[in-house]
Amino acid sequence: MHIPDGFLSTPVWAALDALALPATGLAARAAQRGFDESKAPLLGVMGAFIFAAQMINFPVGMGTSGHLVGGALLACTLGPAPASVVMTAIVAIQAFVFQDGGVLALGPNVLNMAIAGVLAGYLPYHLWGGGRFRRAAIFAGGVLSVISSAVLALAELLLSGVRMPRPVLGVSLTLFAVSALLEGAITVAVIAALERIQPGFVRQPARAPSMLLGGLGLCAVMLAAGGLVFASTAPDGIEQLAMRAGIAKPLAAYGNGAGIAGVGLVFVLLLAGGRMARRRSA
Amino acid sequence: MRRPVVDVNGLQYSYPDGTQALRGVNFHLEAGEAVALLGANGSGKTTFALHINGLLRGRGSVSVCGMEVEPRSLALVRRKVGMVFQDADSQLFMPSVLEDVTFGLLNQGLSSEDACERARVALRQTGMAGAETRAPHHLSAGEKRRVALAGILALDPEILVLDEPTTYLDPPGQRALADLLRALPQAKILITHDVPFAHATCSRAVFFHDGAVVAEGPVEAVAARFGWGLAAR
Amino acid sequence: MIHRRAAGAKLAVAAVFLVTVATAHRHLLALSAGWLVVLVSGVLVAKLPVGGIVSRTAAVLPFSALFALFSWMEGFPQTALGLMVKSYLSALVVLLLVATTPLPELVRTLESARAPQFLLMVVQFLYRYIFVVVEEAVNMRTAAAMRGGLRFQAAAGALATLFARSYSRAEHIHRAMIARGFQGHFRSMATGTLAAGDVIFAFTAGALPLLVRTLGEVLL
C-alpha cells in the first residue's frame, strides 16, 4: 500500500524519512559489491520488469485476479540488497511519475516496501530455501513480504492519528492476508517456471551475518507495529479496563511507546550493520 | 605487404553448455575494405563478430590493427572497433540521444564540450541532427539505428561491425544507410541476410555454415552458390 | 516559462510547498483555497492543460475520501478535511513538478545533491526501459488473449519468460556498454549551474505557499 502525502503526522514522516536515508544508502552500497556500477542496468531493467509484471493478471476465480508485487521474487533471484535497491527505485518512480504514494511519504513507503517487505520476503528462503521445505519457504516469503509492508503501513497511519474503525481494520487485514497468499502462490509458480527455463536464475541462499541482524531488527519492528495494529482491533474491554486502572489514553501511549522504541531499535541496528559492512569491505 | 586490420586464424569457440559454435575460422580484413558475412541463422556469424572486440574469447588468434586481442589490450582494441548490435534498444541505453552518443566519448576521457561537439557531428552524419534532446523510446526503429550508428561513428573507429543493420528499415532507409556506409572510409564487416544490401555495400562476402567459413568471394557469386541470390527465386 | 527553470530550483520550491501543506493544521479550508489558486496559476503559467492536470490529480481522492469518511464518522471532521485537501494539493505539486521537469534532469539534480549515484543510475535505467518491457508484456498478454487467455500456470510461465528476456536484455546492454569503453562508473554531463533567474524563481515561487499560510493564520 502506497501512503499518499497528507496522511502521516509530521513526527512520523520526518522520522521515517530520516531513517530511510541510511537504510537506502546501506542497501545501495551492499548491492554494488565493491563500488562498481555495472549492475545498475540489470537492476533498472528488472525494475521495469516488475512494472510490466503488473500487466499480467493471475486469475483466482470468481472473476477476480491479482498481479505480482515482486519483492520476494526479486530477493530470491537477485539477492536482498539488489532487490531493495530495485524496489526503492520503483517506489520513487511511482511517487514522482505516477503520484502513487507521496513524496514526503517516500521514507515510510520505501521502508515498508523496499526494506522491510524485501527482507521479510527473503528471510524464510535464506533460512529454509536450501532444504526440503524450499517451496514452502518461497511461499512464506511472498506472504510475509506483503503482510509486513501492509502492517507497517497500517501502524504508521494509526500512529499518525488516522482513524480506522475496528471493522474497517479487520476487513483491511483480511484483504491484505488474501493478497499476501496470492503473492506467495504467484512467487512460487514464477520461480518454478524460471528454474525450468534456466536454473541459474534462482540463487542459493548464502551465509551472511548481516542477515541475522536484519532479521532481528525486522522482528522487533514487526512486533511493535503488529502490536499497535492488533491492539487497535481489540474490543473496547481492554480500553475500559486500562482506563479504570488509571492509565489515561492507554492505546495511544502503548502505540507511541512501542512504535518509537521499535523505530529506535531499528536505527541502532542499521547503524551497527552499516559499521559491520564497512569494516568487511575495507 | 600491408597488414590486415583484422586477422583471425583458427578461431574456435564453444558455448558454456558445450556446443561448438566456431570450428577453426580464418578471416582477414584489409583497411577500407567492406566484407559481408552471410549464412543461415545460428551459423556463427554473430558469435564470430563478438570475438573481434573481445566480448567473447575463444581458442586461436585474433588480432586487430596488429594488436593481439587479449585482456591487456581490450581497451585499445575497443577504441579501434565500433560495433552496432542487432537490437538498437539495448544499445541506446541512456535517457537522451545526446547522452547516449557522448557515452563512449566521455569514457575515453573527453571533456563535456568536446564530447558534445563530436556527438553533434556524428548525428549530422547519420541524418539525426536536432534529435539531441529526444528520448530514445520516442524514436522509430530506423531512427534508433541511426543514433546507435552515430554513437559508434563519434568514437572514430577504424573498423565498423554492423549486425543486421537493415532490420526494421524501409527501402528508402536501406538506401540511405547503404549510401552512408559506402561514403565511410572505415573497414566494415556487415552481418546481413539482405543480399542486395550486401551487394550494394560490400566488395566481398564470406559464407558461414555450422561454425565454419565454407565460401569466400564476390557477394553475388557466393550468394548464388548457396541459393541465396536473386536469380534463385 | 517554468519548464526552462533549473530542476533544482523547482525541486526546492516543491519541497517547500509540500512541507508547508503537510504541517498546517488550522484554517485548512481557507488555506487550501489559497494554495489551489497558486498551483492552478502555476499550471496556467506553464501552459499545461488545467482540466487534464486537475483531473489526473483527482486519482488520489477516492483513497483519501475513504479514510476521510472514517475520520468524519468517528467525530473528527478536521482530520477528514485535512486528509482530502492535503493529499490532493500534494499530488498537484508533484504533478506540476514532473510535468515541467524531465526525469533525467531531476535525477541529475539529485546527483549533485549527493544522493547515492548507484540508486540514481538504477532509476534512470528503469525509466528508460519501462516502456520497452511493458510493451513486451502487453504484447504477450494480447497474443495469449488471441488463444484463450492466461490461466494461473500459464501466467507464471509468461512472467518467467518476461523475466528471462529482461535479464537477457540487461546482458546485451552491458555488452554494449563495455564495447564503448565503460570502466565501471558513469560519467555525468551535469552542468549544475544556477542562473540568476532560477534563484529569483526559487525565492518568489517558494515564498508563495508560505505567504498563503501566514496570511491565513494572521487574518483568520
Q: What is the pLDDT of residues C84-113, one digit of tens each?
A: 999 999 999 999 999 999 888 898 888 877
Phi, psi of B205 (to 5 degrees): -130, 150
Check residue C148 and give its pLDDT. Answer: 85
Cβ within 8 Å, pair A7-C119: no
> What pLDDT does residue A249 have?
47
Q: What's the gap between Cα B103 and its chain centre?
A: 18
Nearest to C173 among B81, B90, B135 (CB): B90
Residue with grid cell 544499445, as numbered in its chain: B91
Grid coordinates 505480482 are at which residue? A68
Q: Is the pLDDT of residue A45 over 50?
A: yes
**How many helices (DSSP H) and strands (DSSP E) are in chain B?**
9, 10
Instruction: Select the more confidently predicted residue: A248 or A101.
Output: A101
> What's the rounded mean pLDDT across residues A151-168?
90
Q: By the 8 A CB rule, do B149 and B178 touch?
A: no
Residue A281, pLDDT score: 44
Angle at A155 between CA C21 and CA C86, to 5 degrees: 15
Is the Cβ–Cβ distance between B165 and B193 less than 8 Å? Answer: no
State the pLDDT at residue A261.
Answer: 55
Alpha carbon distances (Å) from A82 to A30, A111, B42: 8, 15, 34
For the record, the C-alpha cell of A259 comes out as 512504535
What's the rounded Cα separation, in Å, for the pair A84 and B144?
A: 32
Please report which helix (H) or strand (E) contains residue B110, including its range.
Answer: none
Coil vs helix vs strand at C140: helix
Residue range A110-148, pLDDT digits in tens: 999 999 999 999 999 998 888 888 999 999 999 999 999
pLDDT score recorded for residue B233: 43
Question: Which residues have a Cβ under 8 Å from the Cβ of C113 and sit 6 or more positions away?
Answer: C8
pLDDT of residue B77: 94
Q: Which of C20, C114, C122 to mutate to test the interface with A (most CBs of A within 10 A)?
A: C122
Q: Which residue of A has its CA nearest to C176?
A: A41
pLDDT band at A35 (very low <50, low <70, confident <90, very high): low
What's the burial of B230, exposed, middle or buried (CB within 10 Å: 0-12/13-18/19+)? exposed
As a whole-number percent, the residues of chain B with pLDDT over 70 amount to 97
| Angle C107-C113-C114 from CA coordinates, rounded to 5° | 95
Please, which residues 74-133 of chain A have a Cβ atom closer than 8 Å to chain C?
A: 77, 85-86, 88-90, 92-93, 95-97, 99, 102-104
**What is the predicted pLDDT for the residue at C125?**
95
> For A62, which DSSP code?
T
A63-94 residue pLDDT tens: 788 899 999 999 999 999 999 999 999 999 99
Which residues in chain A have Cβ-Cβ distances shorter than 8 Å to C155?
56-59, 186, 189
Length of chain A equals 282
Give the distance, in angstroms, between the CA of residue B187 and the centroid of all CA atoms in the same chain. 10
3-state secondary structure A153-192: HHHHHHHCCCCCCHHHHHHHHHHHHHHHHHHHHHHHHHHH
Average pLDDT over chain A reads: 83
Q: How many CA atoms lie within 13 A of B223 on its CB side?
A: 24
User: Please, which chains are in contact with A (at least 3 CB pairs closer than 8 A)?
Assistant: C
Q: Does A201 touch chain C (CB under 8 A)?
A: yes
Residue A254 has pLDDT above 70, yes or no: no
Asked if A14 is an interface residue toward chain C (Cβ–Cβ < 8 A), one would say no
Q: Least CA distance to C170: which residue of chain A? A: A42
Span A228-255, mean pLDDT?
56
Position B25 confidence tier, pLDDT thresholds 50, 70, 90: very high
**DSSP at B73:** G
* Chain C nearest CA to B88, separation (Å): 10
What confidence tier does B232 reach under pLDDT thresholds 50, 70, 90? very low
- From the list C175, C180, C189, the residue facing B155 with the nearest CB is C180
> Nearest-CA residue of chain C relative to B148?
C176
| pLDDT surpassing 80 at residue A264 | no
Residue B173 has pLDDT above 50, yes or no: yes
Per-residue pLDDT, B104 = 93
Q: Does the pLDDT of residue A247 top 50, yes or no?
A: no
Give the whole-angstrom CA distance, residue C31 versus residue C37.
Answer: 10
Rounded alpha-carbon distances, angstroms, from residue A54 to A69, A215, B172, C130, C133: 8, 29, 39, 12, 11
Whether the CB of C178 is below 8 Å from some CB of chain B: the reply is yes
| pLDDT tens for each residue of B95-153 | 999 999 999 999 998 998 999 999 999 999 999 999 998 999 899 988 999 999 999 99
d(CA C112, CA C102): 16
**Which pLDDT band, with edges at 50, 70 and 90, does B230 fall under?**
low
Higher pLDDT, A142 or A239: A142
Percent of chain B with pLDDT over 90: 81
Task: Please determine, for residue A22, whether its predicted confidence score (pLDDT) is greater than 50.
Answer: yes
Say if C25 is an interface residue toward chain B (CB within 8 Å).
no
> What's the rounded Cα separation, in Å, for the pair A143 and A185?
8
- What confidence score (pLDDT) does residue C190 get? 63
User: What pLDDT, on a 0 to 100 scale, did the predictor assign at position A62?
Assistant: 78
Cβ-Cβ contacts under 8 Å, C102 against chain B = 95, 135
Neighbours of chain B (3+ CB pairs under 8 A): C
**Chain C residues 95-124 with CB within 8 Å of chain B:** 102-104, 107, 124
Q: How many beta-carbon pairs below 8 A join chains B and C?
A: 71
B85, B95, B115 member nearest C128 (Cβ): B95
Stretch A262-279: mean pLDDT, rounded?
Answer: 54
pLDDT band at A276 (very low <50, low <70, confident <90, very high): low
Mean pLDDT of A199-215: 75
Q: How far apart, in whole angstroms, are the C-alpha atoms of residue C98 and residue C7?
A: 10
pLDDT classification of A199: cutoffs 50, 70, 90: confident
Q: Check whether A206 has a pLDDT greater than 90.
A: no
Round to whole Å and give the CA distance between B178 and C76: 73
Q: Hey, are the CB atoms on B95 and C131 less than 8 Å from each other?
A: no
pLDDT at A214 over 90: no
Q: Is the pLDDT of residue A240 over 80?
A: no
Answer yes or no: are the C-beta atoms of A113 and A71 closer than 8 Å. Answer: yes
Mean pLDDT score of chain B: 92
**Cα angle A56-A58-A60, degrees, rounded to a multiple of 5:** 160
- Which amino acid does the sequence have at B68? E
Instruction: Say how many C-beta atoms besides its own lie within 10 A of residue C217's C-beta.
Output: 13
Q: Three-state SS for B215?
A: strand
Nearest to C127 among B85, B95, B152 (CB): B95
Please count the CA atoms within 13 angstroms of the CA of C157 that sit on its side-chain side: 8
The residue of C25, C130, C159 whose CB has the most chain A CBs within 10 angstroms, and thus the best one to mutate to test that interface, is: C159
CA distances in angstroms from A251 to A158, A163, A244, A248, listed in the order given: 10, 13, 13, 9
Q: Which three cell numbers stand for residue C159?
A: 512472467
Residues of chain C with pLDDT under 50: none
SS3 C136: helix
pLDDT at A282: 40
pLDDT tens digits for range B39-98: 998 899 999 999 999 999 999 999 999 999 999 999 999 999 999 999 999 999 999 999
Among A239-243, B155-159, B222-226, C77-81, the range scoring the smallest mean pLDDT is A239-243
Does C176 touch chain B if contact means CB atoms closer than 8 Å?
yes
- Shortest CA distance from A160: residue in chain C: C79
